[in-house]
Structure 1
Amino acid sequence: MLSLARGTVMRVVEKRSGMQIVELKMAEDGEVAQALSFSNEAYEAGEILIVNTTAVRLRLGTGGYHLVVSKAEECSERDVAPGMWGHVMKMRYAPWQLAVDTVEEQESPYHSLFVRDDLTLEGTPVIIGELHSLLPVVAAALRQNQPEAKVVYVMPDGASLPVAMSRHVHQCKSQGLLNAVVTTGHAWGGDREAVTIHSGLLAAKHVEKADVILCMLGPGVAGTGTPYAFSGVQLAEVVHAVSILNGVPFFLPRISFADPRLRHRGVSHHTMAILGRYVLRPVVLIMPKLGDDRDSMMAEQIQSLYEKSHVVVWGHSASEDRLSNLEQQYGMAFSSMGRSWQEDPVPFFTALLAADLTKKSFSFSWKSVSADSDCYASPNNLEALGLFLTRNEAQL
């Protein structure tokens, strides 16, 4: 299904970097609707736009927005997404394919950096997670813990493609919680563009000088109720890239005790499928201590992950006061899967714990366990790091 329609511009509701929200009167039924535009051009009242209405007609999670394709009456050739040197196409062979300025290509000022075959993440911690809604919580806690740290978000292409779709990215950058954004694969619109997740991670480290990298899917993930077909499967590739590139993979699990679906209760079947079946390298798995029978439930759920050499670090959950204060400072509500943190606090406590333990990991001496700086993510090294974090998790 690909549904297209015409709408007449009534007004521009909102305009921010990389995106506009346009209010339209639809030609077919006269209804008033809103559409997202990622084009760098102005819209005037009375202009007619062609919009993609597919997701709204299917009642999918786009926030109720149509998507602008183009102006219906504009026939002259124009560049609505200008660049500098880019020849790499994203969204290839789709009607909205565009050339972007990738960091790796020959005309890029960073090309010589990516020619090197010895480039690594040099032990940089990478927090990997499925839920985009937890991005601001992690970023806010990292900034609280380490005000001077450079935090870079690397967005894969397993969910939304234009990064401007994310209000959280826009708010995090305006609040100074993120220093830069790198979009990878077919995702686009970041401060830096990269062809692969591997070069995107390296760009975060060597171009943007990241101290901590966040790699979470964008908004708009897909799921089918199966362990094979959900957007989070892409995180296995992210784990492998971080490990192979000599980073330290911290995995933020999907946990909920308010989700009515049994497969997502406690530790989600998504997390179990990713770490239990698809990931071939160990991670540091962050698990919250809740102080009640939910702890034993989660411990039983993840028991099989120890056989995969994953290093599980349990930590005390944060206070509700801290989460509330961070939310107030952030300026937007913390919510996930349609639930506020008050309704389902555990995902947010886990996100805070990930930020806290990442901060604590900077005190770990890698030389105490290995003189080899090329194996940060080896099972032995991660096990030693996990033991260090477990002994010190109560201290920030």
Structure 2
Amino acid sequence: MLCLAMGTVLQVVEKRMGMQLLEVLIEETGNRERAISIAHEEYSIGEKLIMNTTAVRLKLGTGGYHLVVGKAEQMTEQDLLPTSWGHVMKMRYSPWQLAIDAVEEQASPHHDLFVRHDLSLEGTPVVISELHSLLPATVLTLKQNDPQTKIVYVMPDGASLPISLSGHVHQLQKAGFLAATITTGHAWGGDYEAVTIHSGLLAARHVENADIIICMLGPGVAGTGTPYAFSGIQLAEVIHAVSALGGFPLLIPRISFADPRRRHYGMSHHTTAILSRFALRPVVLSMPQVGNQYDTILEQQMVALQKLDKHVIIRGMVANMNRIASMEKEYGSAFTTMGRSWQEDPVPFQTAVLAADQLSGWRVDLAKAFSDDPHCFSSLDTLAGLDLFWTRNGEQP
């Protein structure tokens, strides 16, 4: 299914770097609807546009917006996204393919860095999560705990491709909470462009000197109700990359007690599928203790993971509701996930805050562990290295 429609611009509702929100009049229906443009071009009231209306017609979670394909009038060739050296293509062989300035390619000022065979993340913590909606709570917690922490967001291509669609990224960068963004694979529009998740992570560490890297999917994940076909499965690749490159992988599990779908109740089957079957390297899993009947459900769901003796599970009590409310107020926009407010479904946000709090408390010991043994998080027996870290740090997995 590929639905295209003609529309006329009635109003430019919002405009920011790489994204414009337009109100348009759909010619066929006469309805006033909204469309997003990710092209770097100007629009005027009365101009006619061609729009992709497929997702809205299918009632998918795209925010209820159409996507502008381009202006309907005859136009001359123009470069809407100029590059400095780039010849690497993203969205290859699609009508929207574009050349970007890849941080690794030969003409890049950073090329010599990526020629090295010994590049490592040097024990840098990487916070991994499936839900883009948890990005603000995670970043704000880390910055509250240490305002000087330099945080870089690395976006894989498992969900949305243009990073400009993320209002969270725009707002966090505008507030100075994110130092930089890197888009990897076919995702595009970050401060830096990388061909792979591996080089994107390394760029965060060595080009931007990140203290903490956050690697979450962009908005718009897909699922099929099966353990094989969902966007979050890409997190297994992220775990492998972080581990192989000598980083410290910390996973925020997808947890909800308000989702009506049984497969997402408590710890989502997405998280359990990744950790039990697809992640071939260990990860540190931050697990919340809610302090009520939900803890029994989470304990039951963790049994299978514990039997695998494959990951390190660290539990902790969640933040109270007042802290989440205060954080939302500081952020200036509502905390929502899967269409639900944090008041309706607080545990996802409490889990993100817990993971960020735990990481803040470990950072000094992580730096020491890496300085004592630069290969402690990249050896084949990574689990032993992680276990040794917990023993020295006094934690009880």
Please tell me the TM-score bracket, short chain as reference: over 0.9
Segment of structure 1 superposing worse, 135-144 or 50-59? 50-59
Do the aligned residues in 1 keep the contact of 2:390 with 2:396 (CA within 8 Å)?
A: no
In structure 2, relative to structure 1, the CA distance for the partners of 1:389 and 1:241 (3 Å cut) is: same
- SS, match of residue 365 in structure 2: coil
In structure 2, relative to structure 1, the CA distance for the partners of 1:347 and 1:389 (3 Å cut) is: farther
| CA shift for structure 1 position 383 | 1.7
Q: Which letter does structure 1 place at the counterpart of 2:252?
A: L
| CA shift for structure 1 position 215 | 0.4
In structure 2, relative to structure 1, the CA distance for the partners of 1:97 and 1:366 (3 Å cut) is: closer
| CA shift for structure 1 position 35 | 0.9
| CA shift for structure 1 position 291 | 1.8
Do the aligned residues in 2 keep the contact of 1:312 with 1:386 (CA within 8 Å)?
A: no
* Pair 1:359 & 2:367 matched: no
- SS, match of residue 243 in structure 2: helix
- SS, match of residue 362 in structure 1: helix
Q: What CA distance in whole angstroms lies between the structure 1 residues aligned with 2:156 and 2:179?
A: 17
| CA shift for structure 1 position 210 | 0.4
| CA shift for structure 1 position 82 | 1.5
Segment of structure 1 superposing worse, 191-200 or 308-317? 308-317
| CA shift for structure 1 position 304 | 1.9
The corresponding residue for 1:382 is: 386
Do the aligned residues in 1 keep the contact of 2:123 with 2:367 (CA within 8 Å)?
A: no
The corresponding residue for 2:53 is: 53
Q: What CA distance in whole angstroms lies between the structure 1 residues aligned with 2:183 and 2:99?
A: 13
Q: Which letter does structure 1 place at the counterpart of 2:9?
A: V
Segment of structure 1 superposing worse, 239-248 or 35-44? 35-44
Structural mapping, 1:7-46, within 5 Å: 7-46=7-46
The corresponding residue for 2:69 is: 69
* Pair 1:343 & 2:357 matched: no
Q: What CA distance in whole angstroms lies between the structure 2 residues aligned with 1:158 and 1:277?
A: 19
The corresponding residue for 1:270 is: 270
Do the aligned residues in 2 keep the contact of 1:9 with 1:25 (CA within 8 Å)?
A: yes
- SS, match of residue 249 in structure 1: strand
Q: Which letter does structure 1 place at the counterpart of 2:250?
A: F
In structure 2, relative to structure 1, the CA distance for the partners of 1:390 and 1:232 (3 Å cut) is: farther
Segment of structure 1 superposing worse, 201-210 or 384-393? 384-393
Q: What CA distance in whole angstroms lies between the structure 2 residues aligned with 1:375 and 1:361?
A: 15
The corresponding residue for 1:179 is: 179
The corresponding residue for 1:120 is: 120
The corresponding residue for 1:327 is: 328
Q: What CA distance in whole angstroms lies between the structure 2 residues aligned with 1:39 and 1:213?
A: 28
- SS, match of residue 35 in structure 2: strand
The corresponding residue for 1:154 is: 154
1:57-94 residue CA offsets vs partner (Å, 9 max, x unmatched): 11111111111111111331011112211111110011
| CA shift for structure 1 position 323 | 1.1
Structural mapping, 1:82-161, within 5 Å: 82-161=82-161
Q: What CA distance in whole angstroms lies between the structure 2 residues aligned with 1:124 and 1:362?
A: 9
Aligned residues: 393
- SS, match of residue 81 in structure 2: coil
Segment of structure 1 superposing worse, 161-170 or 368-377? 368-377
Q: What CA distance in whole angstroms lies between the structure 2 residues aligned with 1:190 and 1:368?
A: 31
Do the aligned residues in 1 keep the contact of 2:123 with 2:370 (CA within 8 Å)?
A: no
In structure 2, relative to structure 1, the CA distance for the partners of 1:233 and 1:197 (3 Å cut) is: same
In structure 2, relative to structure 1, the CA distance for the partners of 1:131 and 1:319 (3 Å cut) is: same
5+ long unaligned stretches in structure 2: none
Q: Which letter does structure 2 place at the counterpart of 1:137?
A: A
Structural mapping, 1:176-325, within 5 Å: 176-306=176-306, 307-325=308-326
| CA shift for structure 1 position 344 | 1.1
Do the aligned residues in 1 keep the contact of 2:123 with 2:366 (CA within 8 Å)?
A: no
Do the aligned residues in 2 keep the contact of 1:88 with 1:99 (CA within 8 Å)?
A: yes
Do the aligned residues in 1 keep the contact of 2:370 with 2:376 (CA within 8 Å)?
A: no
Q: What CA distance in whole angstroms lies between the structure 2 residues aligned with 1:339 and 1:367?
A: 40
- SS, match of residue 12 in structure 2: strand
| CA shift for structure 1 position 386 | 3.8
- SS, match of residue 43 in structure 1: coil
Segment of structure 1 superposing worse, 267-276 or 21-30? 21-30
| CA shift for structure 1 position 363 | 2.5
Q: What CA distance in whole angstroms lies between the structure 1 residues aligned with 2:145 and 2:6?
A: 49
Do the aligned residues in 2 keep the contact of 1:284 with 1:386 (CA within 8 Å)?
A: no
Q: What CA distance in whole angstroms lies between the structure 2 residues aligned with 1:295 and 1:375?
A: 33
User: RMSD of the TM alignment (CA)?
Assistant: 1.7
When the two structures are superposed, what TM-score results if normalisation uses the length of structure 2?
Answer: 0.96
In structure 2, relative to structure 1, the CA distance for the partners of 1:146 and 1:367 (3 Å cut) is: closer
Q: What CA distance in whole angstroms lies between the structure 1 residues aligned with 2:162 and 2:131?
A: 17
| CA shift for structure 1 position 292 | 2.4
- SS, match of residue 302 in structure 1: helix
